[in-house]
Chain A
Amino acid sequence: RKEVEQDPGPFNVPEGATVAFNCTYSNSASQSFFWYRQDCRKEPKLLMSVYSSGNEDGRFTAQLNRASQYISLLIRDSKLSDSATYLCVVTYDYKLSFGAGTTVTVRA
């Protein structure tokens, strides 16, 4: 079983729509959780950290469910510029483990 698993998508949504997707992790002792964004052929960049109580950053909302071992990302009012691959990152000890990414395409 992979340490971090994501639905690869793609999620094709119209502008203004809401899109949400999850990431599951296998290590119950995982310590920190993040969502990164990666544009085509570019390096990943931090989108947001994920806190136990859930957190929002503008149109983005992240949730953590430790009991079921998943994190989620919700994007409201999608923009064309939100088109990217979203990587789930889970840390344990020294190690950052990355999911394979969920591709989101927002169409006009």
Chain B
Amino acid sequence: DGGITQSPKYLFRKEGQNVTLSCEQNLNHDAMYWYRQDPGQGLRLIYYSQIVNDFQKGDIAEGYSVSREKKESFPLTVTSAQKNPTAFYLCASSIDPEGLNTEAFFGQGTRLTVV
């Protein structure tokens, strides 16, 4: 089955640690996105990538880093510089690099908690 897979589902991080969230898709989509969702708020864009080996900052990129070495994979690293990393992280992909007029498919999300 085609889809987008995030792992792990739950992740606990100690203060000062970097952690990497995995996102893999086998939909052959060009565009991939990382969003963060906090309670009572909408999804906020962290990073996006329209093509392999290229990515752009979104609205809240500080404290995060990404890579796009393969079309299928778009891992997100939450660094120790991110002051409030506890949140629900969602990865999405779209066949249209501009994200227009086509459906964005989401992974099941990763809940990150800083302990």
| A residues in contact (CB < 8 Å) with B | 4, 8, 31-32, 41-46, 49, 87, 91, 93-101
Contacts and interface: CB of A to CB of B under 8 A. Distances in A.
Contacts of A42: 108-109
B40 A8 contact: yes
Contacts, number: 53
Contact of B98 (A49, A87, A93): A93
B90 A44 contact: yes
B34 to A, nearest CB: 12
Interface residues of B, number: 26
13 contacts: A8-B40, A43-B107, A43-B108, A46-B103, A87-B42, A91-B98, A91-B99, A93-B98, A94-B97, A95-B99, A96-B104, A98-B43, A98-B44
A96 B33 contact: yes
B1 to A, nearest CB: 15
B90 A94 contact: no
**A87, A91, A93, A96 — which one has the most chain B CB atoms within 10 A of its CB?**
A96
**B33, B35, B42, B100 — which one has the most chain A CB atoms within 10 A of its CB?**
B42
A98 B42 contact: yes
A94 B48 CA distance: 9
B64 interface: no
Given A44-B43, A44-B90, A98-B42, A91 B100 contact: yes
